[in-house]
Amino acid sequence: MSETRVAHRVVPAQQGLLRRQQPPDFFGYFDSCDGAFATGWAYDRAAPLEPVTLHVLIDKQEVGTVVCDILREDVQQAFNHPTGLLGFRFPIPVGFIDGQPHQLSFRFANRMILPFIVNGDSSDLRDGIEFTLERTFEFQSFIDGMKQGALRGWVQKVDPHTGERLGNCQVLVTSEGLRVAQVRANRYRGDVAAALGGDPNCGFEIILPKSFRQGGQRTFRFIVTPDDVELSGSPLTTTLVDDALEASLIEINARVERLYGEISKLRNDMGNVMPKPSYNLGDYDRWARRYYDRLRARVSTERAKRAIEKPDAKQPLVSILVPTYKPMMSDFTAAVDSVLSQTYANWELIIVDDGAKSPEIAERIRKYCEQDPRIRAVTLKKNRGISGATNAGLEAVKGEYVAFFDHDDLLVDVAIEMMVNAAQDTGARMLYSDEDKIDQAGYYLEPNLKPDYNYRYLLGCNYICHLLFVEASLLRKVGPLRTDYDGAQDHDLILRLVEEIAPSDIHHVPEVLYHWRKTPNSTAVNIGNKTYAIDAGVRCVGDHLTRRGVKAKVSSIRGLTLYGIEWLNRKQPSVSVIIPFKDQVETTEQCLNTLLANTDYKKLDVVLVNNWSITKEAEAFCRRAEKLPNVRVLTVEEEFNYSRLNNLACRDNPADFFFFMNNDVFVSDPKWLKTIVGEALSAPDIAAVGGKFLYPNDTIQHAGVVVGPAGVAAHVHRGAPLTDYGYIGRALLSHEVTAVTAAGMLLRADVFRAVGGFDEEHLKVAYNDVDLCLKIRSKGYRIVWCAEFTAYHHESLSRGSDDRPEHEARFYAETRTMQERWGLDPQYRRDPFYSKHFTVDRQPFFDLVDPAAEEEAAA
């Protein structure tokens, strides 16, 4: 509940004033200041039906007006007023709810004061009151519970007067009277901001201390301090796994791994070693500190190797460009010092003092220039904004490459060396690295572990961001940053760069080389109230597509700098939907009926592949189905072979596209097929498109497939809520992937035939879709996961799971086929659209590869 604390005292009237301020025409009183509202009444005797307008004065300055048109029955009865519509209720402006004393009074249009009546005594009248109001808040919150080993939730404090919603609350967690943890609820929760608005940095996550991880039930209480408000969902009672049981589970898991390793002949070593501590995003700081030590060691080894193999290698000048505008001194000096600490020496640092608004910063820049001749200053007398300041710096660069750097961020000390090496090794003209954030306590968090160049993802957000490293001649050709896109100027620049160069000229350095400073005033924390940036982003993506001759409509997703695209291609190629089934009549008929009822697409036919159904119900269903327009039934009396069933349905099928569909997938959006066909037609090299498939409980079953030797393939974001943003927005943004599931896959018919279709000999059931996608990509085509296409999927409803005993031998053989066929292929060994720092066999986009193991795998 909210409560506004108010204190007030009357202000004495000046002698003779009361007689002057109650002229014959006007009459009324200011009678209370209760909470954050002042009330009273007034009317004009000469025109009692016309409401009077009063001028409001706070601290003797006019702050607004109020109309006296509220019903006051008490006054109506006392003075026989014809309507009683003569009251007012004025809300105190938020700026004056600050715990400080202020004077409040009201006056008529003729400047006479409306008297304040003290304690209802009309004989004791004053000019006004002195009030003091303290701002208080309500709290909205929720405890998500124990998730992936951590207690999670969110809390926002809400100003009941303005509706402003703030994050960064302090939360105390106790158990049985003992303090467990105290945290700031400042983790990014886009789902909360999307649903309720306000500050998205309102979440918290608590890894339980070891002393609180003993087995059995535990009850936790969550309190907002210092307000002493308990969060919604608190107390929370949950069951924890004790150390003994945890050890047993680890041992059992190790046995399973050893057995599977003996069968597959691929995991013998893993089965014989002791389990190593795992890492996930919840303890990224611990992972990062180990990672950076090993990164520096790797770079040092590489440096020595290069000195021997390439002693005369060119050391190009790199211009590091830093637009600067009133940064915190400590952050600014840390940023510059991180440049001075670079292991690569041939750089110049160009600091653009945008508007020279801070004498202290200007003086510090001067000292830096004196300290190191590689540092140069460009001083702008007027503030030009981020684009103007960056352009001024670009005019001054002398280097062969330009690195863009913010005035309060940090470069890892080997950053420039690694970028130069990568540019020389690959010939790339535009490069970017991974990044993370660093808070004011020096804690590493929120890593952005990026995919290799992913054009479709780039249309949805500026995932490239930092560290951007570009050939200077290319920048000059593309032209300066455009102030029209301020707020999204870097996104616009990158889109213009990719218009000029081939994808092979763009290189991702998959190492975390940049720390984005997370402070209360940085864009790393505060993304709210930036509609101009959202609008600029929508325009820059739309204008880019227009320049490329592509018709599309771009819009913001959930009011954030994430963009959805509706392709406006009017072509409607023919599509054949292929649905294998065996009995399961009720499910298959529901699939067919929802498909036909919920598909707004003219050039559509359906092939029902009847795989030796044996029931009378199935016979009757086939007869009913064949009577439907554009539906035919293909009967295949053979043992189940998913690949062959689909290949037979595609044989002599004249459609332009095939849509492979499981009989337990149910569509509901009439535009679903137009959406994915539009995606496929948006570029000639897009061969396949998949969608977002959901379990019946509205959690994600499929949002793209990641591949790799450790686990062959895995569905990313599996089990996440439908509304989840996913990792760096990837559950909401369409993007290029290595594979999608054939439970719902659109594929160009000519490409399907060119790669030989599904492998019906070695991959009859499992991995055939992944294998097909890898074949497609090996021919130079792209595969897109379309976030806008959603459907429900009751996975493996017809056939059952692959981990059942009767399927074990077949599944083992198909796993071995994938490893032998693709084990040496670069796109399989390291999925280009998935960071090498994440595991494939555990939770994708959550569990991190141990830096030591990653180093050994690379060797």
pLDDT class of 135 with cuts at 50, 70, 90 = confident
pTM exceeds 0.85: no
258-262 long-range CB contacts below 8 Å, 24 or more apart? none
| 803 has pLDDT over 70 | no
Pair 617, 514 in one domain: no
CB-CB neighbours of 678 under 10 Å = 23
| 10 has pLDDT over 70 | no
Pair 683, 798 in one domain: yes
Which residues, other chains included, contact 799 with Cβ-Cβ below 8 Å and sequence gap of 6+? Answer: 640, 765
Q: What is the DSSP letter of 841?
A: S
The mean per-residue pLDDT over the stretch 675-688 comes to 97
* Calpha distance 664→781 (Å, rounded): 28
Which of 112, 118, 119, 103 shows the shortest CA–CA distance to 16?
A: 112
Q: b/e per residue, 754-769, with b = 16+ CB within 10 A?
A: ebebbbbebbbebbbb
pLDDT class of 797 with cuts at 50, 70, 90 = very low
What is the per-residue pLDDT for 677? 98
Task: Provide the CATH number for the domain around residue 217.
Answer: 2.60.40
Q: Which residues pair with 438 in a beta bridge?
A: 444, 517
| 347 has pLDDT over 80 | yes
What is the per-residue pLDDT for 21? 44
CA-to-CA separations, 339 to 33, 346, 407, 511, 676, in angstroms, rounded: 58, 11, 11, 18, 46
Return the sign of the alpha-carbon dihedral for residues 548, 549, 550, 556: positive
Taking only the tens place, the pLDDT of each residue in 400-443 is: 999 999 999 999 999 999 999 999 999 999 999 999 999 888 89
Pair 330, 369 in one domain: yes
CA-to-CA separations, 588 to 84, 610, 664, 670, 745, in angstroms, rounded: 69, 10, 7, 19, 18
582: which 2 tokens? 């065996």
* Calpha distance 59→580 (Å, rounded): 78
What is the per-residue pLDDT for 597? 96
Pair 114, 146 in one domain: no
CA-to-CA separations, 553 to 113, 534, 550, 679, in angstroms, rounded: 58, 15, 10, 12
Helices 616-626 and 585-597 pack at an angle, to 10 degrees, of 20
Taking only the tens place, the pLDDT of each residue in 170-209 is: 898 998 888 788 888 998 887 888 888 888 899 998 888 7
| Structural domain contains residue 504 | yes
What is the per-residue pLDDT for 120? 62
361: which 2 tokens? 């910063």
Return the sign of the alpha-carbon dihedral for residues 338, 340, 343, 345: positive
DSSP E strand boundaries for 355-418: 375-380, 401-404, 410-411
Taking only the tens place, the pLDDT of each residue in 595-635 is: 999 999 999 999 999 998 888 899 999 999 999 999 999 99
* Calpha distance 388→394 (Å, rounded): 10
DSSP H or E stretch at residue 150? strand 150-158
| Cβ atoms 6, 132 nearer than 8 A | yes
| Cβ atoms 547, 459 nearer than 8 A | no
Amino acid at 466: H
| Cβ atoms 439, 445 nearer than 8 A | yes
Going by their DSSP bridges, the two strands 375-380 and 347-354 should be labelled as parallel
What is the per-residue pLDDT for 215? 62
pLDDT class of 842 with cuts at 50, 70, 90 = confident
Q: How many CA atoms lie within 13 A of 166 on its CB side?
A: 14
| 584 has pLDDT over 80 | yes
* Calpha distance 766→641 (Å, rounded): 10
What is the per-residue pLDDT for 16? 34
Pair 166, 93 in one domain: no
pLDDT class of 859 with cuts at 50, 70, 90 = low
Give me the residue label for tokens 């990672």.
291
Boundary (domain end) residue, out of 208, 240, 272: 240
**H helices present in 225-312, as ranges:** 243-264, 268-272, 284-309
DSSP conformation letters of 84-137: -EEEEEEEPPGGG-SSSEEEEEEE-TTSPEEPEEGGG-TTSEESEEEEEEE---
Which of 847, 819, 821, 845 shows the shortest CA–CA distance to 708?
A: 819
Average pLDDT, the chain: 88
Among 54-63, 513-522, 532-541, 678-687, whose mean pLDDT is lowest?
513-522
| 802 has pLDDT over 60 | no
| 25 has pLDDT over 70 | yes
**In Å, how far from its chain's centre is CA 360?**
36
Percent of the chain whose pLDDT exceeds 90:
66
| Cβ atoms 821, 771 nearer than 8 A | yes
Between residues 757 and 312, which one has the greater pLDDT? 757
| Structural domain contains residue 429 | yes
Boundary (domain end) residue, out of 177, 210, 240: 240
Pair 76, 206 in one domain: no
Amino acid at 480: P
What is the per-residue pLDDT for 532? 86
DSSP H or E stretch at residue 432? strand 430-439
Amino acid at 590: Q
Which of 360, 347, 356, 352 shows the shortest CA–CA distance to 378?
A: 352
Task: Provide the CATH number for the domain around residue 477.
Answer: 3.90.550.10
| Structural domain contains residue 827 | yes
Boundary (domain end) residue, out of 99, 134, 169: 134
839: which 2 tokens? 């595991």
Between residues 23 and 107, which one has the greater pLDDT? 107
* Calpha distance 566→545 (Å, rounded): 12
842: which 2 tokens? 């555990």
| 529 has pLDDT over 70 | no
Going by their DSSP bridges, the two strands 178-185 and 401-404 should be labelled as unpaired
Going by their DSSP bridges, the two strands 347-354 and 318-324 should be labelled as parallel
Give me the residue label for tokens 């009672």.
237
* Calpha distance 514→234 (Å, rounded): 38
Distinct helix (H) and strand (E) counts, the chain: 23, 47
| Cβ atoms 278, 149 nearer than 8 A | no
| 758 has pLDDT over 50 | yes
Between residues 441 and 350, which one has the greater pLDDT? 350
Which of 837, 846, 850, 833 shows the shortest CA–CA distance to 706?
A: 833
464: which 2 tokens? 């490239």
Which of 537, 404, 388 shows the shortest CA–CA distance to 466?
A: 404
What is the per-residue pLDDT for 249? 52
**In Å, how far from its chain's centre is CA 114?**
54
Q: What is the DSSP letter of 602?
A: S
Pair 120, 35 in one domain: yes
Q: How many CA atoms lie within 13 A of 80 on its CB side?
A: 0
The mean per-residue pLDDT over the stretch 234-245 comes to 70
What is the per-residue pLDDT for 799? 46
Which of 501, 319, 328, 526 shows the shortest CA–CA distance to 426?
A: 501
Pair 358, 416 in one domain: yes
What is the per-residue pLDDT for 41? 93
Between residues 129 and 588, which one has the greater pLDDT? 588
Q: What is the DSSP letter of 208?
A: P
* Calpha distance 7→546 (Å, rounded): 61
What is the per-residue pLDDT for 277? 57
| Cβ atoms 9, 129 nearer than 8 A | yes
| 558 has pLDDT over 60 | yes
Pair 781, 837 in one domain: yes
Taking only the tens place, the pLDDT of each residue in 764-778 is: 999 999 999 999 999
Q: Which residues pair with 706 in a beta bridge?
A: 714
Amino acid at 316: P
Q: Which residues pair with 56 in a beta bridge?
A: 64, 106
| Structural domain contains residue 167 | yes
The mean per-residue pLDDT over the stretch 382-396 comes to 95
Pair 50, 101 in one domain: yes
Taking only the tens place, the pLDDT of each residue in 247-294 is: 455 456 556 655 655 555 454 454 444 455 578 898 899 999 999 999
CB-CB neighbours of 480 under 10 Å = 16
CB-CB neighbours of 566 under 10 Å = 14
pLDDT class of 857 with cuts at 50, 70, 90 = low
| Cβ atoms 585, 601 nearer than 8 A | no
Query: How many folded domains does the chain comprise?
Result: 4
375: which 2 tokens? 């540092």
What is the per-residue pLDDT for 3? 42
What is the per-residue pLDDT for 24? 62
What is the per-residue pLDDT for 214? 64
| 539 has pLDDT over 70 | yes
Pair 126, 145 in one domain: no
Angle at 604 between CA 602 and CA 608, to 5 degrees: 150
| Structural domain contains residue 320 | yes
| Structural domain contains residue 252 | no
| Structural domain contains residue 564 | no
The mean per-residue pLDDT over the stretch 91-120 comes to 85
| Cβ atoms 67, 87 nearer than 8 A | no
Range of the domain at 434: 314-530
Going by their DSSP bridges, the two strands 712-715 and 705-708 should be labelled as antiparallel
Q: b/e per residue, 158-173, with b = 16+ CB within 10 A?
A: bbebeebbbbebbbbb
Taking only the tens place, the pLDDT of each residue in 728-743 is: 999 999 999 999 999 9
What is the per-residue pLDDT for 265? 47
| Most distant CA atoms of the chain, gap in Å | 108
Pair 10, 23 in one domain: yes
| Structural domain contains residue 223 | yes
pLDDT class of 145 with cuts at 50, 70, 90 = confident
Among 151-165, 346-360, 624-638, whose mean pLDDT is lowest?
151-165
Q: How many CA atoms lie within 13 A of 30 on its CB side?
A: 30
* Calpha distance 808→810 (Å, rounded): 6
| 717 has pLDDT over 90 | yes
* Calpha distance 518→514 (Å, rounded): 12
| Cβ atoms 346, 317 nearer than 8 A | yes
